[in-house]
């Protein structure tokens, strides 16, 4: 290197997306995703339920209301929380449906384990950035309802079915038998085990938006291009086999049909990701 040459300096595009530090670590560790070669263990949904009495959750509710009221276009709620408060938040509130003016949702370095289906109501959303949210392994199918979504920044190695690792998808209960043989007609869709169903409540169909009755619940996985950047694993909560059959064709290079997950699902080999057509 000559004396006249200068080292190239790269800007940190996430410098303003990081909240304040503190003695507490802002997120929990996650061992769901296995790397390397060899047999892989079955995966399960994160079972955590949101503590709605936690200060971080209460503050997040306030921030959503503020963002809805002032119709802001960029929403970075986590920068307003302490490290301890960020660790207390494992999902977003349904009230994000009111954020119809937000164009860029930034969730950098979150402790989230799930995103609620109400994200589909964010009609202006153009960019979605849950980057380095390493416990966020999947997304709701309702994300496909954001018509303007063009960009995303996701830690793809942490995703179920990632082309880099082909991690197993969690196995979904069969529609006919339910959970451990329980009649789905008796399944309380307002009080679910998130470690089994991926949510604490499922109320409407992600395809047709009709209300779901327990006996009719169908859950499947599908991998789709949701923006120009990423193929994301999406969990579909459907009200009928008709709605499952109406799903689009999955992305090339992934399981080519909707499926119910588990180690028995054959995925393509890990490798290069095909680009969208």
Per DSSP, the residues of the chain read --TT--------TTGGG-----SS-SS--------SSS---------PPP-TTSHHHHHHHHHHHHHHHHT-SEE-GGGGS-HHHHHT--S--GGGGG-TT-SEEE-TT---S---GGGGG-TT--EEE-TT-TT---EEGGGGG-TT--EE---GGGSTT-TTT-PPPPPPPPTTT-STT--GGG--TTS--HHHHSSS---B-TTT-PBPPGGG-EEEEEEEE-SSS-EEEEEEEESSHHHHHTSPPPPTTS-SS-B--STTS--PPS-PPPPP-
> How many Å apart are CA 155 and CA 88, to the nearest integer?
21
For 215: left if phi > 0, alpha if psi spans -120 to 50, otherwise beta; the answer is alpha
Starting from the edge strand earliest in sequence, which strands make up the sheet with 218-225, in order? 139-140, 231-238, 218-225
Other Cβ atoms less than 10 A from the Cβ of 243: the count is 21
The HSE-up count of residue 274 (CA atoms within 13 Å, CB side) is 12
The secondary structure of 71-139, three-state, reads CCCEECHHHHCCHHHHHCCCCCCHHHHHCCCCCEEECCCCCCCCCCHHHHHCCCCCEEECCCCCCCCCE
> How many Å apart are CA 34 and CA 255, to the nearest integer?
19
pLDDT tens digits, the chain, 277 residues: what are they?
445 555 554 455 655 666 666 556 788 889 888 665 555 677 899 999 999 999 999 999 999 999 999 999 999 999 999 999 999 999 999 999 999 999 999 999 999 999 999 999 999 999 999 999 999 999 999 999 999 999 999 999 999 999 988 999 999 997 644 444 445 557 899 999 999 999 999 999 999 999 998 789 999 999 999 887 789 999 999 999 999 999 999 999 999 999 999 999 999 998 766 565 5
**Domain layout of the chain by residue ranges:** 42-245
pLDDT, residue 22, reads 56
- In sequence order, what are the residues at sequence separation of 6 or more whose Cβ sits closer than 8 angstroms to the Cβ of residue 18? 79, 108, 109
In a 10 Å sphere around its CB, with 0-12 CB exposed, 13-18 middle and 19+ buried, how is residue 218 labelled? buried
- In sequence order, what are the residues at sequence separation of 6 or more whose Cβ sits closer than 8 angstroms to the Cβ of residue 271? 163
Whole-Å CA distances, 35 to 84, 113, 116, 202:
29, 19, 28, 32
pLDDT, residue 227, reads 80
pLDDT, residue 114, reads 98
Q: What pTM did the predictor assign?
A: 0.88
């Amino acid at each position: 290197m000559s004396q006249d040459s200068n080292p190239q300096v790269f800007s940190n595009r996430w410098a303003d997306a990081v909240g304040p530090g503190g003695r507490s670590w802002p997120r929990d560790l996650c061992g769901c995703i296995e790397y390397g070669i060899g047999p892989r263990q079955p995966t399960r949904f994160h079972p955590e339920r949101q503590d709605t009495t936690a200060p971080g959750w209460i503050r997040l509710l306030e921030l959503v209301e503020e963002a809805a009221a002032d119709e802001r276009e960029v929403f970075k709620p986590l920068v307003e929380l302490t490290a301890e408060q960020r660790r207390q938040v494992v999902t977003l509130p349904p009230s994000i449906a009111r954020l119809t003016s937000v164009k860029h949702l930034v969730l950098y370095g979150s402790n989230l384990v799930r995103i609620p289906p109400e994200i589909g109501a964010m009609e202006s959303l153009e960019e979605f950035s849950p980057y380095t949210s390493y416990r966020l392994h999947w997304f709701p199918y309702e994300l496909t309802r954001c018509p303007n979504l063009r960009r995303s920044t996701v830690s793809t190695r942490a995703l179920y079915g990632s082309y880099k690792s082909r991690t197993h998808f969690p196995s979904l209960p069969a529609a006919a038998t339910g959970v451990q043989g329980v009649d789905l007609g008796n399944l309380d869709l307002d009080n679910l085990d998130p470690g089994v169903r991926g949510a604490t409540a499922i109320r409407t169909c992600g395809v047709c938006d009709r209300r779901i009755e327990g006996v009719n619940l169908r859950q499947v996985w599908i991998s789709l291009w949701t923006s120009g950047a990423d193929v994301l694993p999406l969990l579909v909560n459907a009200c009928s086999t008709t709605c499952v059959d109406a799903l689009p064709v999955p992305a090339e290079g992934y399981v080519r049909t909707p499926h119910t997950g588990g180690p028995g699902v054959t995925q393509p080999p890990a490798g290069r990701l095909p680009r969208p057509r």
